[in-house]
Structure 1
Amino acid sequence: MTTEIWQLSEAELLADAAAVSHDIQLLEARRIALVAEIDTRVSREKLGFPGPAGWLTSTTLLTPSKANKIVALARGLKNFPDIADAVNTGVMTVDHAALILTFAETPPKNLPQ
């Protein structure tokens, strides 16, 4: 039986909020990994869409921009296994990974060697 939120002590509130946030991060990482596999293995005919972003948008409550971000991360993380591992273990957030991938894939012009 789950304790009602209003019944939790301050310490329990803090601990539960941190634990749930960590769990959400791991679930987001899992979704990205699943979408990467869908992108590789599932045909357009089976998806019913030209790609996984359209399928995600139609089968979840995700916006098209969020679905496209997930697909971009799924594709980008394939080229950066260290970043993927950090996301999958909860050491790095999905948002941080997206920033790093953006920089790594298109570094600023005139960057010193």
Structure 2
Amino acid sequence: MESTQTITNKSTNYRTWSFRFLIYLFLLNLLVAYIIATSTTLMIESEGYEKPANNSDLILSIIVVLTNIFLISGIILTVLSIIKKEKKDYKYIVSIIGYSIFLIITILSLI
């Protein structure tokens, strides 16, 4: 009996994961904008009344940490996709453009 060995070519999916992380990053940024828009009020509080406790600050902090993780991971995956010379399709191009925009926005927000 002959034993045949099959060698599977594992293709990398860096561009696919990078594209997914870009979508997650975009959705999380929309969620951050929504939380900020709904939790910011200009009401004048009467003396003697306490503000009701809400956890929007904690939730916002967790979401910001998640967006930073997705941003860094997506940039790393995009760079790996460029280094491995993966197929250039819409995921590849959108990831490069999207992460460039998010990186510029992040740098501008730090200034």
Instruction: Indicate the structure (1 or 2) with the bigger Cα radius of gyration.
Output: 2
Q: Structure 1 length normalisation: TM-score?
A: 0.37
Name the structure with the higher helix share: 1
- With normalisation by structure 2, the TM-score equals 0.38
